[in-house]
Amino acid sequence: MAQIDKTKPVLVTGATGYVAGWLVKKLLEEGLTVHAAVRDPENKTKTAHLDKIAAQTSGSIQYFKSDLLAEGSYTEAMKDCELVFHTASPFVTDVKDPQKDLIDPAVKGTQNVLETANKTSSVRRVVVTSSCAAIYTDAIDCQKAPGGILTEEVWNTTASLKHQPYSYSKTLAEKKAWQIFEDQSQWDLVTINPSLVMGPPLNLKATTSESFSILKQLGDGTMKMGAPKIGLGLVDVRDVAEAHFKAGFTPTAKGRYITSGHDTDFVEMGKVLLPKFGNKFPLPKKALPKWLLMIIGPITNKLFTRKFVRNNVNIPWKADHSKIKKELGVTFRPMKETMEESFQCLVDEKVLG
Ligand SMILES: NC(=O)c1ccc[n+]([C@@H]2O[C@H](COP(=O)([O-])OP(=O)(O)OC[C@H]3O[C@@H](n4cnc5c(N)ncnc54)[C@H](OP(=O)(O)O)[C@@H]3O)[C@@H](O)[C@H]2O)c1
* pLDDT tens-place string over residues 72-86: 999 999 999 999 999
The CB of 135 under 6 Å from ligand 1? The reply is no
3-class secondary structure, 345: helix
pTM: 0.97
The pLDDT assigned to 294 comes to: 87
Domain membership of residue 202 (yes or no) is yes
Look at the chain and report how many structural domains it folds into: 1
Residue 67 lies in a domain: yes
pLDDT computed for residue 94 by the predictor: 81
Provide the pLDDT for residue 98: 96
Q: Check if the beta carbon of residue 129 is closer than 8 Å to that of residue 86.
A: yes
Q: Quick one: which of 243, 242, 267 has its CA closest to 317? A: 267
Confidence (pLDDT) at 132: 98
Q: Is 199 in the pocket of ligand 1 (CB under 6 A)?
A: no
Tell me what pLDDT residue 255 has. 98
Q: Is the CB of 68 under 6 A from ligand 1?
A: yes
- Report the residue among 13, 23, 34, 39 best suited for mutation to probe ligand 1: largest number of ligand atoms under 8 A from its CB: 39
CB contact at 8 A, 238 and 337: no
- pLDDT of 118 reads 98
Tell me, what's the pLDDT at 208? 72
**How far is residue 227's CA from residue 287's CA, in Å, rounded to a whole number?**
5
Whether residue 156 lies inside any domain: the answer is yes
Q: What is the pLDDT of residue 303?
A: 77
Cβ–ligand 1 contact at 264 (below 6 Å): no
Contact 245, 27 (CB under 8 A): yes
Domain-located, residue 5: no
Cβ–ligand 1 contact at 209 (below 6 Å):
yes
Res 204: pLDDT: 81
Residue 136 contacts residue 150 (beta carbons within 8 Å): yes
Q: Is 301 part of a structural domain of the chain?
A: yes
Task: Indicate the burial class of 164 (C-beta count within 10 angstroms; 0-12, 13-18, 19 or more).
Answer: buried
In this structure, is residue 18 part of a structural domain? yes
| Domain of 130, in residue numbers | 10-347
pLDDT at residue 299, as a whole number: 78
Residue spans of the chain under pLDDT 70: 2, 353
pLDDT in tens, 235-269: 999 999 999 999 999 999 999 999 999 999 999 99
Contact assessment for residue 54 and residue 61, using Cβ atoms and an 8 Å cutoff = yes
Residue 198 lies in a domain: yes
Give the model's pLDDT for residue 205.
79
Residue 3 lies in a domain: no
β-pairing verdict for 10-13 and 83-86: parallel
CATH assignment of the domain containing 337:
3.40.50.720
In the prediction, which pLDDT does 228 show?
A: 93
Distance 25 CA to ligand 1 centre (A): 16
